[in-house]
Structure 1
Amino acid sequence: LEVHVAAGNLLVRPLDFPKQAEPFLDGMIRTQIARLTPWTIDQVVFGFGTAPAAANDRIAVTLIAAPRALIQPLLAFAAEIGAAKIAVVAEDDAGDGAPIQIYKASLRSALGGGRDLGRVLKIGWLSVAAATAVLLIATTFAGGYLDGELDDAQAQMARLRAALRPAIGSAAADGLLAKRKQTSPASVIVLETLSKILPDDTYVLEMHVENDRLQISGMTQDAPALIRLIEQSPQFSRATFYAPTTRTAGEAGERFHIEARINPYFGDRA
């Protein structure tokens, strides 16, 4: 069953994204759906269509969304007439745009088609019960052996700790501290490096450093170019967007969210 709905009866929002984000549009829109619509991801059905923008190497996206409650009567009707599948498609009112599918679901189980579903489920439950019984019997016989092996392993670990404890003196502790200092990136060094590689039209509003991972967010004129600049720096690698790059009315540039791996050593290795 395919249901066609006029787009004028649904929520339609035009969006704008960099062309490089085209392969990730579904995930980017899904993570931002609560901001783009009045509903959460559990309360909404949606779809989108794309078209190349005229300038700046960007793509125009048309998002069409509706509350999930709106399609419940359609699901009930489809189930009543015995439909195997249902699809809800939004039609452009002007007739010059391609239809956008906002919902699709299978209403009839492939396992139950042409079979006694009750019997299939009963056999499944009996198989699960038999497997559980076999597992319990095996666990009972193996439990005593495993407990003995565990006790032996714990005793051996205790002896090893006792033997190693005197060997770690002040020299070893100093060496560990020096190694940690050289391999742990300092936030002030990370900030100084970013200030050198980011262009003047870029503003970092948030920065988080956790272990060897850096996360920054802010405003810029060309978000994809930041990935290239960060990757070219010897202090960073594996730079990528961890959230969608968006452009909001009233803001001068794009809001970006980038994370990268911090290389374990800064400065001269000599």
Structure 2
Amino acid sequence: MPRFDLLVRWLDVLCGVVLRVGEIRRNRNMLRVTHSEGRVSIRAGAGPDASLVAAVTVGHRPPDEVLRRATDGFLVLEWPHDKTITRTLGLPAQARDFLAGVIANQLDRLSPWPLGQILYGHAATPLADASRLAVRVLIVRRADVDAVRAELAEMGLNVDRVESAPHAGEEPVAFWSNGASQGDASARRRLRLFIGGGVAAYVAVCMPIVVAGSVVTNALQEETESLTAHTHALQERADAAKNPSAIQALPPPERAWIWKEASTPVVALVDALSRAIPDDAYLESLSVEGGKLRISGLAADAPPLIDALEKTGRFFDAHFSAPTTRASDGRLFRFGIEANLAAGATKKGK
């Protein structure tokens, strides 16, 4: 419940800001109207020397340009002094903060009409004695004001405020304002509902986007984690392929998979052997099994074959698998050599 009250107050603040901005914008294009002796005069501006823009007979519509300015701007009706009752009160300066209540308590005595039939306003002026205030209370008949407003409305002029006409340098006093009417309260409620509906619609539009973004983000995160795990596994396999002892320690399925990935094509091995074996040596057998190369044959000088194999970069830990013996011709030596296949030898060969 407190959160709901906070939301209502927040919407009220937004409504106030919107209405205030609208009022400021309209005040920049203020029109002042006077209604006297069947004539309506319209002046532009707030000062007493405001220029006359139109003067028409009651019941006739003003020019379209004036009506447009009245619709977009702020229309003030100046109420004449001859239809206004003025009362002056002398009050202590301390009563300034309570003037509205003090005047409301004395309206029965000040007004010649019943309270339900009047509109009133007041203005306080400090006297020479700073401890006293001179308070002017201006009272008009509500029926008279409503009648003039209705006539102006029929002419296309909707009054926003009714105030006293300037007189002898005195500040105008407001009797009625559209912003203080009951209709404005309902307008504020409608505006609050409109703003609340707009905010709710915005949230409703953004929510699927946020949810979709969250789903996509989670999917991307899961995909990233999967790729990271896969990359880590491949890196472990690559590191294991470089260490034969690590390969032997792996379970048979993983060991077979690593050997499959790291094995060198036989064509590449034959090419490496053809380059390493000198012209005076001959191979009688060649086998590759379990990551090992086994060769046997005849050579004029067998020991240099070990170094020649390891220099290819495709074999390491090369050694004789059996003692070398002289062949029957007495010129060549029979040899048997084993060597481990180097991991990634195919990449290096490329």
TM over 0.5, yes or no?
Answer: no
Higher relative contact order (CA 8 A, sep 6+): 1
Greater CA radius of gyration, 1 or 2?
2
TM-score, normalising length: structure 2: 0.25
